[in-house]
Amino acid sequence: MRDIEGGPDVEVIGKNRVICGICLTGPELWNPLLSIGLLTLPCVVFHAFVSPWYIEKYGAVGSLVVIFGALLMLTAYVSFASTALSDPGIMKRQKDPKNSYDAITQQWRDRSPPRWQDAQINGRVVRLKFCSTCNIYRPPRCVHCAVCDNCVERFDHHCPWVGNCVGRRNYRSFYMFIFSTSVLCLYVLGISCHKMAVVVQQANDEGENAALKLFGSNADAPLLAAYVFLAIWFVGGLCAYHTFLVGTEQTTYEALKGLYADGNPFHRGLIRNFASVLCRFPRQMYFDPRHPELDEFDEPRSPTEIVPALQAAYPPVEVFAAQPPLRNRGYERSLSQPSGVFAEQNWAPQPGSPVNGAGIGWEEGEGGGGGGGGRRDHRVPGRCAGLFNQLALPLVSPSQALQQRVSLRLCPLLQGRMRHQADLPRLK
């Protein structure tokens, strides 16, 4: 995209487009226009031919029928616009952590953070992946969309019909769109079939050719009925499928991938699932569309936005970050601790610990043994900033780990809802 002042291209929100500094849509412009045309065509036919016939024949009752149909159409249009022109839940990008200066350690970072981290939610392990494009650890259920080139929170799918991703912030309007469109199709189909039945009955009573009268001066009714009959198989089936997803607290991406074959940690019962997805107001955007810009890698953004959002969405949940076992020169490291351990106010090493006081770990470099001159620094930010800073794990010296047991006492996280202590296992 191009920034608001018309300067050089800045990849801050991927391929999404900002309209008038308020609306945000995907890179596809013709697909939403096609969808609007497919929705407008039956509406025009209905109000141009069927509605006048109903009002003329049934008077006030016919007017009520037409007004109700118009309200359904208005609901479909508004929900479509809300889905297509709103932020689906794009995660704000951060600058590349490599070659950036760390003010805490007063050194330059020389490598990217670990590729994977694991979070435990309601007893289930959810794998968090570091996005090398957005330079963030994706929160649970966050996926990078290949079309929009953005990480979207609670990513459901990229809908080509609305030209935008469907995520946490616009899923409710998307569901309202397909639901209202399904009801509208059923309503128009019923009204059209009723008109066809009345026309055929009148033709039979008057001794006229029913088929000639139906497909002659009243051809709008059968054509409209055929159109919405075909449309309802697609829209109605989509609505039924998403109703199932809402009831089971899944997304389209998760259902197609079969991620919860062993149990869904986000499932909280039918009523609470519907209330959580459809009755919750969308959160604020993570960025200002009028002035989009990249965050510095060590800006304290994630702890103030992402973690409270997860805590509010899942109050009884404990979120942990753990690094799977690693093998390095015949030496295994298996570290497990809550997220946020790199906030220096959140932990302090015990006396004799090989981890230095700043909360930064190191390991032996290629040119040295146990001496300090051969140690290679792999420092990462000590400030609790960004998902990387929340989930990054320290590395300890193999030579000293063979002699000592590392034990870190951690302060409470997430306002007391996390565990109060986590010890590193014995390193062998």
Cα distance between residue 162 and residue 413, in whole Å: 40
Catalytic residue check, 142: no
With beta carbons less than 8 A apart as the criterion, state whether 100 and 270 touch. Answer: no
Cα distance between residue 25 and residue 16, in whole Å: 6
Close Cβ partners of 375 (under 8 Å, ≥ 6 residues apart): 362, 363, 364, 365, 368, 397
Calculate the CA 7 to chain-centre distance: 29
Catalytic residue among 43, 131, 148, 159: 159
What b/e readout covers 44-75, taking b as 16+ CB neighbours within 10 angstroms? ebbeebbbebbbeeeeeebeebbeebeebbeb
Closest CA to 333 of 391, 406, 384, 383: 406
Cα distance between residue 428 and residue 404, in whole Å: 10
Q: Between the CA of residue 171 and those of 91, 274, 279, what are the distances in Å?
A: 16, 12, 11
Catalytic residues: 159
